A and B are shown apart, each in its own frame.
Chain A
Amino acid sequence: MPLPDRKSPSLLAALATIGIGVSETQAAGPRDYEGPQGWSVDGESVPPPPDQAPPAGGDLPVEDAPVVPSEPAPAEPAPSEPAAPPPEEDSGCADGDFCVEDLTTDEAALKKEMAPKAAPKLAGPSGTLSGRMLDATSGSPLIRVNVIVVGTSYKTKTDIDGRYTLSVPPGTYQVRIWYDAYEGVTISGVVVAKDDTVAINRDIKPIAGMTQTVAVTAEINKESSAGKLVERKKSVAARDMMSRDDIRKSGGGATSAVARRIVGSTIVGDRFLFVRGLGHRYGNTLFDGARLPSPDPNLRTVPLDIFPSGALSAINVQKTATPDVPADFAGASVQLESRETPDKWTFQIDGRFGINTQASFQSGLRGDHFAGDNFAAGNLGRDLPDLYNTKQPIRATSMNGDQQAFTPQQIEKFGESLPSLNTAVRRHTALPNFGGGVQLGNTFKPWGTRLGFLTALNYANSTQTLSETYRIYNTEQPTQGGPFSLNTRNPDVDIQGTKTTQNVQVSGLGLLKWKLDQNNRVSLLGLYTRDADNESRVLEGRLRTTCGEQFYCRNTRLRYIMRSVLFTRLGGKHEIPAAKGFTIEWFGSYAQARQDDPLLREMLFYRSVGDTPQDSNYNVDTNESGKFQFFKLLDHAGSGALDFTVPFKQWGQLESRFKFGAWAEAKRRTFGVRTFDFEPRGFGGQLPSGTGNIINAGTIGDGSGSPEPFSIKEVTRPGGQDGYAGKQEVYAGYAMLDLPLVRWLRMVGGARLEANRIRVEPFDVFGGAVDAKANAQIRTLNVLPSLNLIFAARKDMNVRIVGAETVARPEFRELAPFVFTDFAGGFTVQGYSKLTATKIWNADMRWEWFPSANEVLAVSVFYKHFDAPIERMIATSPRLQTYRNARFANNVGVELEGRKNLEFISKSLRDLSLGVNFAYIFSRVQIAAPKEGDLLAPTSTQRYLEGQSPYVLNAYLGYDNERSGTNARVLFNTFGRRIAFVGGNHLPDVYELPIHTMDVTLAQRVYKGLSLSFSAFNLLNWRQRFVQGENNDIFYTTRRGIFFLVGLSYSI
């Protein structure tokens, strides 16, 4: 029974300090916006003198190359008749003066600037200056860059796309461009003729000499909370974003710990991001647009804790579909953006140390140790030796028995040459959690281009011990023909377990971004993550159908699962200025995911109910003992896309764009398992008692039963039960139009065509015949339309209405007949080859209000119709966990989000901010009439969709004091009870009850680049409970313990 895999939160992130290294100065106004206001060379903050005029020349180097006038310039530069300048809504700066302007004091201006600005009307003849301002490092548009005509009152600021237009009377001017913390530019001799348009486009550079803080500053503009809100406002689809600011304030660390704070999101099993309470099935994960495979073969979502959050500039959660995004999501498309490379040499190192109240320095379990266990490489030593590379199973004779395959001596040698025969699980005091990371980056300027790189290495080692209870009940029908109820008096399975898991994560990231010129950018990303769970487990209790009523069972297991993902992506973006900003974006990615699960060792012992639990009273149950299994999974996946964007102006001269493109992806999987069993073949005596290493070189024989009792026998199943090959291809094309109909109404619509084929073909590990009946194939061809209407009711307010169709497809594992049973007596997990894909119709309406740069209030109402959703089911006769399509399901929900600075209550609270996200969802599933002979007909017909929580709540209270360099947050998360397994064949559904979690993070700058952080996760240590039946009888329960973590980070 694969209950959510726990994972200790990995250690505090590198990131917790990056942000702290950034100096920020104080100004009145909301404190959340971390835009730079003043800088000194060494990164210490300089209080801005608001009334002080900056040096006139030094910071504003004059760029010599004048703009080539389109017409001969008039001799006299000064405009003879300046028209009345547009009303100046901005405060602070005198015209033409350089000034340090605090953007955050200027919320009204920011709001206004979020929408394209109309050129001021001029009474007389006029010409136009227009253009676009981009960040020279990242290439992203810069918002609110000042464009000033020197000596006049004509000025404007760039909009959210970095564009501006400014009408001026004809003449020759000096134009000054400045942006805080960027190098200013002054252009002389700009000649503007009547009715002419002069284009001035510039990539402006962060101010040199600002050392590392500049690099971060450059990002902050894009990566700050405020920047993200701007992006969100502008975004086509309803989406929620988490910026680097948020990431840092959440304590950094694993990306999953961060993503928890996204509106309506839940982190499940500490690793997976669910949105609006929808589970694994309804999300996808893209890294810079490319498909990222999950290393977990049973799931389609990618565990977020494999990414160091320091590698990301943002986590972007798209909740409504647009044609340019793969359509296989309904909850959220989680889009991870790689960060920009730093502008200067940056180096950062950090170390972390933590404890778990249930594991660290306490007695846990452990099996034998292998080299590499502490580097996620313990799978290598556990692998089957070369000796086992045989054409036929390890048995005395060939499959059909007509010839000898191996001699008795060989059989004995096979048995004795497994990497380890130790099956004993011993007590062991667990180490504390620890980890560290380094990051290095810089940008070079070869041949006038900009070539930046960023590398990060991360290591984490953590241990968790869980006490678990598993119970499996049967149904009973007290009266013939009457209602069924759960028989809790006499469970089939009632066991207590202890499980210690040591998790080791190693990851490396390399990022190269090459900006050839201002129109052409190429980036190369390589990511390798490797993580391993070294699990030691003992389960003990009653398994009456396995050991009988008179006995207690003890089931021990040692397991080591290594998962790795190698992901590479090469992409580029090319803007063709000659073709009016026609943009081509492309990428190709290749990924290899591996899951290596070698040397699973399992034993089953029993003792009489009346005996004491001393070791000598245990006897080995030979049927379920001595099982050694070797699982291997390998995925190759590639995706590629080509997108074209054609900007144009619609009839009202509003910026519009047409986008079209193509997408292709393919995935290949091979999965196989080999199983070996030690059995007392031909042995008639008494086997050793106790739970020690009873299978060893001295007890392994040649199959004759004497003198050594045990002999190895391969029981890998024929006929494709122990291997499958999966293939999937998706080809897609789309076209979409982003068209403002009028200034306040923008329409984005289009369609995506997706052709998909999934095949799962079981194969025999030894090449034997396979019944083609078990093959699964799904072919779909979907035209998936979507339409977004965005009403900009006010400049700081949007209303969006979205309708879109998306899909959800079963995973390979869910289609494969391979069976796995977590413990003797537990549920057998098996795929179902007849699953079909799910179509989803989504409707979404959202109202958003951005009262200030870092504040938001949003309300969404949404509806989803799932055609044939796939649900995870269990039944007890047969005892099986599998999957079925329901007929349809409808979800209706409302979602609220608010973020507010508390300064409005009192000035003294200006460092505090509060954020709340809440989603409520009503769901109903319609079940098809049970088919003849379907023993998994769902029991309940009036219920929520499996995995759907009725509500999800996240809240935080933040304290950010830049003067003292302190950031602190208290975060709370909860969700409503949700169905974990749909019960079949009269078995009631299994619900997971709410888990309330509270985390606290604290970061303090100690000295310059040195900072200290402290986090406490899971403070409430709420019990995880899966329950069943009217009385909420326990199906599974455990607690994860409280995690404390201290981190120290230094950056230069």
Chain B
Amino acid sequence: MQRITILVGCLTLSPMLFACGDSGGDSAEASDTATTDPTAGGEEECDSEISESIEVDTRWACDHTLSGIVAVKGGVTLTIEPGVTIKGTTGSALVIGKGSQLMAEGTADKPIVFTSSQPDGSRGRGDWGGVVLLGQAPNNLQTGTGAAEGLDANDPDYQYGGSDASSSCGSLKYVRVEFAGFELTKDNELNGITFYSCGSGTKVDYVQAHMGADDGIEAFGGNWSGKHIVVTGALDDSFDADQGYTGSLQYMFLHQDPATGNYGLEWSDQKDNLDAIPRTKPIVSNVTFIGTGTSDPLVMTKSGAIKLKEGTAAGIHNSIFAYSYNAAVELTEAATEAVADKGEIAITDNIFFKNSVADDGASPYLTSDGSAWDLKGFIEDPANRNQIDVDPKLGSYTWGSANIVPAAGSPALGNGRGVQGLETTDYIGAVKDATGDWTKGWTNFIAK
């Protein structure tokens, strides 16, 4: 069944009907109807071009193409049904405004895909913008409010932050966001999926950000938690957290394109106030990270596995970090060292393998210039049970066709430990075995 609200139709089809949302006139009545019953009336026109903002509850049951920045605003919900593909044209993006929600719940067989409007095989990073969710949970900005990167900072619709920690930006399940990261303004690309101050009500499970021109997934403040996250081919960081994000993520597969990439995990408290409260403190467990250092010949990149900076706290557990081009762990700024000294950074039960490929493993740890802080001692402290330069024996590290299932006898198996608040696993890394390989089926690893 294909349904769509009148409003979307009329906004999309004709500028003559632009007055839909205004009072008076026949079209206004139609829109009123649409508001009260989002599924009532009118056939959803499939494969239509969506270019105007969405200000009533809307449901997409078939494919559409985004043109320009499409904002969902006014506290409404955009629901996308399983199997729907939304294509983004150059410069387009889907922005869920503060108070509105995106309900995109696909299934393993019918994931919801946000992708480039280019045809299969000729897609690339930055073909379109990405998905931006603006929430009203707290962040640690001085003003409590921020403006989404790359969007019009003069427009209050593109601001985020509030005090409702349990609020929700919606639900993303079996969702892929591919080839995003259009440069909206110079040096300001959108991430694949950006969570701005999304609260704990936000549900994230089985989400892939693939081939984005900036970070794969970035969280600015908020406290949402998620599971089963895949980030592949991000040009910048795979998972970036900032501005007081405090959530837990379990089961992540982060794979960098051997030609480019920055950090697997880059976390910062806040660049303007290194002790801003709430302090950024993501807790991750069961991450498998493969850096850019797998190519032959080796390509120079900025790839690193973990970057903790600007006073962030962190919990990184039961994870595998392999083949970073540069250091495996960077911990910079005295503020971050102080946070670590207070015990708010925990890096335990991880496997580090073939990192710092650029210099054959000579500099796996990096601290601020002139700092005497003992990062090596911190990571390699036996109490933290990190396995250094140990082969996790994964099936394949090949870009585009990796197999992250550990072979029998892998040190990843049986060495996992429970993390408070997360599912307890006895293994290290994102998957335990081939049958439990959740990264297959709904994902896409094709780079164009």
Contact = CB atoms under 8 A, between A and B. Distances in A.
Interface in B17-70: 18, 47, 49, 51-53, 65, 67-69
Given A684-B257, A718-B92, A935-B147, A400 B117 contact: yes
A716 B69 CA distance: 14
A630 to B, nearest CB: 16
B182 interface: yes
A401 B119 contact: yes
Nearest to A547: B302
Interface in B89-116: 89-92, 116
Interface string A951-994: 00000000000000000000000000000000001100000000
Contacts of A11: none
A878 B448 CA distance: 32
Contacts of A876: 272
B272 A877 contact: yes
B118 to A, nearest CB: 5
B390 interface: no
A333 interface: no
A682 B448 contact: yes
Contacts of A458: none
B91 A718 contact: yes
A875 B272 CA distance: 13
B189 interface: yes
Main secondary structure of the interface of A (DSSP, over half): loop
B187 A549 contact: no
B142 interface: yes
Given A623-B183, A877-B272, A401 B87 contact: yes
Contact of B272 (A399, A475, A682, A936): A475
A395 B91 CA distance: 13
B68 A832 contact: no
B270 to A, nearest CB: 9
B272 A477 contact: yes
Contact of A771 (B68, B92, B189, B273): B68
Interface in A358-417: 393, 395-397, 399-402, 404
Nearest to A474: B272
B205 interface: no
- Residue with the greatest number of chain B CB neighbours at <10 A, chosen from A393, A396, A875, A936: A396
B89 A935 contact: no
Interface in A457-485: 474-478, 480, 484
A19 B423 CA distance: 92
A828 B186 contact: yes
B273 A476 contact: yes
Contacts of A496: none
A768 B67 contact: yes
A719 B50 CA distance: 12
Contacts of B118: 395-397, 401
Interface stretch (A304-312, A819-827, A1031-1039): A819-827
B259 A684 contact: yes
Contacts of B49: 400, 769
B141 A686 contact: no
Contacts of B309: 549
Given A832-B154, A880-B153, A935-B159, A715 B183 contact: yes
A546 interface: yes
Nearest to A769: B51
A721 interface: yes
Interface in A811-859: 817, 819, 821, 824-826, 828, 830, 832-834
Nearest to B66: A400
Interface residues of B, number: 72
B409 interface: no
Contacts of B189: 623
Given A623-B189, A685-B259, A985 B143 contact: yes
Nearest to A829: B185
A772 interface: yes
Contact of B259 (A399, A683, A817, A877): A683
- Residue with the greatest number of chain A CB neighbours at <10 A, chosen from B91, B92, B188: B91
Contacts, number: 190
A550 interface: yes
B426 interface: no
A821 B187 contact: yes
A401 B159 contact: no
A19 B182 CA distance: 61
B380 interface: no
A868 B189 CA distance: 35
A933 interface: yes
A624 interface: yes
B142 A986 contact: yes
A401 B309 CA distance: 40
A681 B124 contact: yes
> In which size bucket is the chain A interface?
35 or more
A402 B136 CA distance: 37
Given A399-B90, A684-B299, A719-B91, A623 B259 contact: no
A824 B154 CA distance: 20
Interface string A901-942: 000000000000000000000000000000011111000000
A680 interface: yes
A550 B91 contact: no
A805 interface: no
Contact of B145 (A397, A476, A817, A933): A933
B262 A548 contact: yes
Interface string A755-797: 0000000000000111110000000000000000000000000
- Residue with the greatest number of chain A CB neighbours at <10 A, chosen from B68, B183, B298, B448: B68
Contacts of A399: 67, 89-90, 117
Given A623-B213, A684-B295, A715-B183, A828 B126 contact: no
B447 A682 contact: yes
A679 interface: yes
B421 interface: no
A623 B298 CA distance: 20
Given A395-B118, A935-B145, A821 B154 contact: no
Nearest to A683: B259
A718 B260 CA distance: 28
Given A681-B124, A683-B259, A703-B122, A400 B87 contact: yes
B300 interface: yes
- Residue with the greatest number of chain A CB neighbours at <10 A, chosen from B67, B182, B185, B448: B185
Interface string A546-566: 101111000000000000000
B297 A686 contact: yes
Contacts of A404: 119
B149 A878 contact: yes
A546 B302 CA distance: 12
A935 B87 contact: no
Interface string B415-443: 00000000000000000000000000000
A548 B302 contact: yes
Contacts of A828: 185-186, 188
B141 A877 contact: yes
B184 A878 contact: no
Contacts of A475: 142, 272
A686 B358 CA distance: 14
A825 B187 contact: yes
Interface in B176-226: 182-189, 213
B273 A715 contact: no
Given A396-B119, A686-B298, A703-B122, 6 more contacts: A397-B122, A480-B273, A623-B183, A624-B187, A682-B448, A877-B146
9 contacts: A399-B117, A685-B299, A714-B90, A715-B126, A721-B91, A768-B51, A830-B154, A834-B154, A882-B154
Interface of B: 15, 18, 47, 49, 51-53, 65, 67-69, 87, 89-92, 116-119, 122, 124-126, 141-143, 145-147, 149, 152-154, 156, 159, 182-189, 213, 235, 257-260, 262, 271-277, 295, 297-300, 302, 309, 326, 332, 366, 369, 399, 447-448
User: 9 nearest interchain CB pairs?
Assistant: A401-B117, A719-B68, A821-B186, A878-B153, A933-B156, A769-B51, A681-B124, A400-B65, A878-B147
